[in-house]
Amino acid sequence: MTSHVGRLYALALALFVFFLTWATVAAHPWSARATPRADPRAAALAARQVRLRHESVVVARIVRRRWAIYRKHLRRRQQQIAAVNRANAAAARQDKLAASAAAAPAVSASPAAPPSVRVVSLPPVTVTRTS
């Protein structure tokens, strides 16, 4: 084989056969099983998903129940607050009526007195700066 082209073709063919053999050996076609095993990690993940889904349903039920109780107590508390506010408003109206009834004769009987004014004198402020 003195032809350079023949040598190049032989080398290319040898490289092709080498890489084809390498890929065949790396693929392990003789060790393929008829029934593939289930991955234990996937089974554990599926079991965890089922457990978490069940827990989320339980938690949602608990939260709904607690919110219902909270809303019931909140309505009762708001009614109590409204009743106290109504009682305070009624008491304030009665006090205002009583005060105006008691002050009405006193205001008409006495002349308007001047408001008392208090004059405050402060000492002068001395500013000293140190810089």
| Residue range(s) defining the domain that contains residue 85 | 40-101
Is residue 70 one of the residues assigned to a domain? yes
Is residue 22 one of the residues assigned to a domain? no
DSSP code per residue over 19-41: HHHHHHHHH-GGG--SSPPPPHH
DSSP code per residue over 105-121: HHHHHSPPPPPP-----
Cα angle at 27 between 21 and 33, to 5 degrees? 135
Is residue 128 one of the residues assigned to a domain? no
Is residue 71 one of the residues assigned to a domain? yes
pLDDT in single tens digits along all 131 residues of the chain: 578 899 999 999 999 999 999 998 888 777 766 566 788 899 999 999 999 999 999 999 999 999 999 999 999 999 999 999 999 999 999 988 888 887 665 545 556 677 788 888 888 877 777 76
Is residue 27 one of the residues assigned to a domain? no
Please state the pTM of the whole predicted model.
0.42
Is residue 96 one of the residues assigned to a domain? yes
Domains: count for the chain? 1
CB-based burial of residue 72 (10 Å sphere; 0-12 exposed, 13-18 middle, 19+ buried)? exposed
Residue type, 66: R
Is residue 13 one of the residues assigned to a domain? no
Is residue 121 one of the residues assigned to a domain? no
